Chains A and B, each alone.
Chain A
């Protein structure tokens, strides 16, 4: 058998797991692993400028490809710098394996230099974690980590590797396990047969159904089944912020995103539905509004691979534990077998009602002579990219506007931090996507606040020539915070205004990128066109937008799903 050191085992195990890209930052406790990486020609390592960015890159690499993202960092501050990234992935169920160094085993507990209990610090935001105390444990720990990260409800897994365990002088027999099984961990994939029957019966007899599709449908690669079911039964479909792209954004049965900044027709349909069929969506508080007033007429059906997500916030009348893809396929097979269908007359009547709500055109907005509106920017982006770009975003008003005005055609095209709402996600996320898809246009829609949370990654872009477009909706403020202060805090703008926004064009140029400033609406389309034509450069497009614009619709706090502000002056009558 081949003899390898612990450090070599780490690199070989990753290779044998099929890992091609890894994101990280070196330091004392992982130098042996970095030395082994130096000697490997199979793994491409990207050196970031801050470990948080490495995790976001690996995360978005995973979101855009469906593969597991992989990170390597040193002990102590290297490891703790990853926590925000790990928490971000955890909240959105993204599979990651994060390898962190640790002080030698014989120093653990002695407050040695750069000793941090990474297993303890990361515990609330990981799916699982391993600490390797001998080199021989490494291959199995890595095998298990990838297996756990990517199966069931995916999530991040941390592996801690003490320095002595990596020692290049000590060699051990190496063999990468072919498979792994854990007696304590067996995720359920297919749905209970009886529940499938009941679910089909309930769906077919519903008169006002809504298909409520979340990020779980994307993770499970269930878009095909969602589309087939929706079209077969003529069901209205709404997506969560995390589910955008799971159902085609321009499909006539798509009624828009739902929730806090959801479409009028989507929220109205939910509230008035008689059946809500959740496919991989978890009734998040950003969707339900006040749970006491949530969808009073609806029977709730819920497919989720994670049993804890079912009946956590909203009681499910018909729970089905399983993968969205497998369960929907089971339902489709049963529908085909029985040739059963729903009552098209009542469904048509339901559509008449929905179309009335649609006619309100809740996303219409007023343009202005003096200011560029953020909605115009996203619509222009859609036009220039023909709707084909991978769009990552940061967190704030610009994120909501991107979600509302860029109808995503396919899953894994919209990459955002939905569960954690992590500002600073957008730029490294775009880099991770571009590395995964070098031939596709990738754009990061960002805000003047968010971009500055990981702006140092412009340097990483320079080093590896990762060409992408950064589209900054610059409102010279923490817009989303300001919107809340305007609406709920008597307009007191406590620390939401940024007095010193840098010159982003000069900043981009300092990193040898191209910066374009846009102040007038007529400059917008030419600027974006040029940005996407410059295929081998990072182009930073800084668009001055109307700082007073708010995001609407917006649900009214403590109300039901259908209670919404529709503009600064209009709200639904509750």
Chain B
């Protein structure tokens, strides 16, 4: 089961390594992990996507995260309405105006933006849920030659009134 865990923790040195250490020490799986300070600079917000075998494993994982002295709040997002987004930057090589048109069209369909151009290279920016980015990369692979791909990992937030705050 793919699950998204949101963590609010002290923005202190060592806090990230404790979280990462916990995952490797307990043989938990991390698919992606993003972290950044919040509007309150003393706090960091982390989003972890993981694959768990059952609910008991998820619960244990969340309890273990909460047990870390730096961690204030832990919540799981996929079990209720939420928004998840990931940022993709992809650099593709195109030869000929037809191919360039094709790239531009695909980019528009996906509502991506071209953020850098050279003679043969386009750098495209796209945000969305992971599956959309996967589909975009597959399409681009047909339309052009992919030079490099970088993805931010998932950021998630609950919909509605729910909020993860100190």
Which A residues form the contact surface with B (CB < 8 A)? 119-120, 123-124, 127-129, 131, 148, 182-185, 306-308, 311-312, 315
In the complex, the chain B residue whose C-beta lies closest to that of A124 is B25
Whether A308 lies near B64 (C-beta < 8 A) is yes
Say whether B21 faces chain A, with CB atoms less than 8 Å apart.
yes
Q: Which residues of B contact A127 (CB under 8 A)?
A: 69
Whether B67 lies near A308 (C-beta < 8 A) is yes
Also in contact, A124 and B21, with CB within 8 A (given A131-B14, A184-B10, A311-B59): yes
Whether B63 lies near A308 (C-beta < 8 A) is yes
Whether B69 lies near A123 (C-beta < 8 A) is no
Partner of B60, one of A119, A123, A129, A312: A312
Cβ distance A81 to chain B, nearest Cβ, rounded Å: 21
Whether B17 lies near A120 (C-beta < 8 A) is yes
Q: Which residues of A contact B18 (CB under 8 A)?
A: 123
**Residue-by-residue, is B31-57 near A (CB-CB < 8 Å gives 1, otherwise 0)?**
000000000000000000000000010
In the complex, A307→B60 CA distance in Å? 9
Q: Which residues of B contact A315 (CB under 8 A)?
A: 56
Whether A184 lies near B69 (C-beta < 8 A) is yes
In the complex, A511→B64 CA distance in Å? 47
Indicate the member of B10, B25, B69, B71 with the most A CB atoms within 10 Å: B69
Q: Which residues of A contact B69 (CB under 8 A)?
A: 127-128, 148, 182, 184-185
Partner of A308, one of B21, B60, B71: B60
| Interface pairs A-B: 5 shortest CB-CB | A128-B69, A184-B72, A308-B63, A307-B63, A185-B69
Say whether B150 faces chain A, with CB atoms less than 8 Å apart.
no
In the complex, the chain B residue whose C-beta lies closest to that of A128 is B69
13 contacts between A and B (CB under 8 A): A119-B14, A123-B17, A123-B18, A124-B21, A128-B69, A131-B13, A184-B10, A184-B70, A184-B71, A184-B72, A308-B63, A311-B59, A315-B56
Cβ distance B144 to chain A, nearest Cβ, rounded Å: 42
Say whether B90 faces chain A, with CB atoms less than 8 Å apart.
no
Also in contact, A183 and B166, with CB within 8 A (given A127-B69, A308-B63, A312-B60): yes
Whether A184 lies near B21 (C-beta < 8 A) is no
Q: Which residues of A contact B13 (CB under 8 A)?
A: 131
In the complex, A70→B13 CA distance in Å? 24
The prevalent SS among residues of B at the interface is helix
In the complex, A123→B18 CA distance in Å? 7
In the complex, the chain A residue whose C-beta lies closest to that of B22 is A124
Q: Which residues of A contact B63 (CB under 8 A)?
A: 307-308
Say whether B9 faces chain A, with CB atoms less than 8 Å apart.
yes
Within 8 A of A (CB), among B1-38: 9-10, 13-14, 17-18, 21, 25
Cβ distance B37 to chain A, nearest Cβ, rounded Å: 15
In the complex, A123→B68 CA distance in Å? 11
In the complex, the chain A residue whose C-beta lies closest to that of B9 is A184
In the complex, the chain B residue whose C-beta lies closest to that of A130 is B14
Whether A129 lies near B14 (C-beta < 8 A) is yes
Which B residues form the contact surface with A (CB < 8 A)? 9-10, 13-14, 17-18, 21, 25, 56, 59-60, 63-64, 66-67, 69-72, 166
Also in contact, A306 and B67, with CB within 8 A (given A124-B25, A184-B72, A312-B60): yes
Q: Which residues of B contact A184 (CB under 8 A)?
A: 9-10, 69-72
In the complex, A183→B70 CA distance in Å? 9
Cβ distance B55 to chain A, nearest Cβ, rounded Å: 11
Q: Which residues of A contact B17 (CB under 8 A)?
A: 120, 123
In the complex, the chain B residue whose C-beta lies closest to that of A309 is B63
Cβ distance B10 to chain A, nearest Cβ, rounded Å: 6
Whether B72 lies near A183 (C-beta < 8 A) is yes
Cβ distance B4 to chain A, nearest Cβ, rounded Å: 21
Q: Which residues of B contact A129 (CB under 8 A)?
A: 14
Cβ distance A141 to chain B, nearest Cβ, rounded Å: 12
In the complex, A311→B57 CA distance in Å? 10
Q: Which residues of A contact B56 (CB under 8 A)?
A: 311, 315
Q: Which residues of A contact B72 (CB under 8 A)?
A: 183-184
Q: Which residues of B contact A120 (CB under 8 A)?
A: 17
In the complex, the chain A residue whose C-beta lies closest to that of B66 is A307
Cβ distance B165 to chain A, nearest Cβ, rounded Å: 11
Cβ distance B8 to chain A, nearest Cβ, rounded Å: 9
Q: Which residues of B contact A312 (CB under 8 A)?
A: 60
In the complex, A160→B60 CA distance in Å? 30
Cβ distance A276 to chain B, nearest Cβ, rounded Å: 19
In the complex, A128→B69 CA distance in Å? 7
Q: Which residues of A contact B60 (CB under 8 A)?
A: 308, 311-312
Also in contact, A123 and B66, with CB within 8 A (given A131-B13, A183-B166): no
Cβ distance A86 to chain B, nearest Cβ, rounded Å: 15
In the complex, A312→B61 CA distance in Å? 10
Q: Which residues of B contact A307 (CB under 8 A)?
A: 63, 66-67
In the complex, A66→B62 CA distance in Å? 30
In the complex, the chain B residue whose C-beta lies closest to that of A187 is B67
Indicate the member of A148, A307, A308 with the most B CB atoms within 10 Å: A308
Cβ distance B122 to chain A, nearest Cβ, rounded Å: 39
Q: Which residues of B contact A306 (CB under 8 A)?
A: 67
In the complex, the chain A residue whose C-beta lies closest to that of B18 is A123
Cβ distance A311 to chain B, nearest Cβ, rounded Å: 7
In the complex, A462→B63 CA distance in Å? 47
In the complex, A193→B21 CA distance in Å? 35
Whether B67 lies near A123 (C-beta < 8 A) is no
In the complex, the chain A residue whose C-beta lies closest to that of B70 is A184
In the complex, A312→B56 CA distance in Å? 8
Cβ distance B75 to chain A, nearest Cβ, rounded Å: 15
In the complex, A119→B16 CA distance in Å? 13
In the complex, the chain A residue whose C-beta lies closest to that of B72 is A184
Cβ distance A118 to chain B, nearest Cβ, rounded Å: 12
Cβ distance A233 to chain B, nearest Cβ, rounded Å: 31
